[in-house]
Amino acid sequence: MIDFIYLASQSPRRKQLLEQWGVRCELLLPDASEDAESLEVVNKGESPTAYVQRVTGLKLLASLDRLRRRGLPPAPVLCADTTVALGRRILGKPEDAAEASRMLADLAGRRHRVLTAVSVGLPGARRDRTWAALSASWVTFEPLSGVQIRRYVASGEPMGKAGAYGIQGRAGLWVSHISGSYSGIMGLPAHETAQVLQAAGVQLI
């Protein structure tokens, strides 16, 4: 029986969610020699759905290679990626406060999608086995004033988050409606994650 997994994500929220679900995980993070940021570059004309699935698949391949390179005990590896989309426009992690402010101004008073792709890989002697799932949710923000946006950006919370906000934080006060997976909007959809982990042999409830 598999009693732990590797989590190839720096997101503390994903680790917290897994622990809440009773999944024991060990971090499998990139080392200094890896260019992890390059995996998140958007291809020209790429749709948000295709983008988030492709990036998650690339992260999984890199993580399985990392596992072998470090000579670690074999166990399922879980990767995920979240993006915010306004139509076909992809809103990733803001590079600075100005970009975060622009993203939030665009989201204010509008409905947008949050896409989270999840993939699990099980290393094998001959070939790796992989499973993948996608969660799509809708989020509606109330109209926001410039003062609200400036205060939120000044808090530092938008940085490092797709779409420049985290629903589990202060920005949750602006959300008037969601349709889909709350945990998926946080970065790891419960139902889809359970499906891919169980397919890989991880015992859940």
Q: pLDDT of 15-61, one tens digit each?
A: 999 999 999 999 999 988 887 778 888 889 999 999 999 999 999 99
- How deeply is 69 buried, as exposed, middle or buried, from its count of CB atoms within 10 A (0-12, 13-18, 19+)? exposed
Question: Which has more confidence, 66 or 3?
Answer: 66
For 67, the token pair is: 């596992």
Across-strand partners of 133? 118
Give a yes or no: residue 204 inside a domain. Answer: no
pLDDT at 40: 84
For 55, the token pair is: 């990036």
Compute the residue count for the chain: 205
For the chain, the domain total comes to 1
| CA–CA gap between residue 197 and residue 5 (Å, rounded) | 9
The enclosing H or E element of 62 equals helix 48-69
Please tell me which residue in 3, 31, 81, 128 is annotated as part of the active site: 81
Range of the domain at 156: 5-199
Contact present, 50 and 169 (Cβ < 8 Å): no
pLDDT at 34: 81
pLDDT at 137: 98
Is residue 1 pLDDT above 70, yes or no?
Answer: no
Q: pLDDT of 77-106, one tens digit each?
A: 999 999 999 999 999 999 999 999 999 999
Contact present, 183 and 190 (Cβ < 8 Å): yes
> What CATH number is attached to the domain comprising 187?
3.90.950.10
Count CB-CB contacts under 10 A for residue 116.
28
Give a yes or no: residue 205 inside a domain. Answer: no
pLDDT band at residue 203 using 50, 70 and 90 as cut-offs:
confident
Give a yes or no: residue 187 inside a domain. Answer: yes
Average pLDDT over residues 100-127: 95
Catalytic residue list contains 81: yes
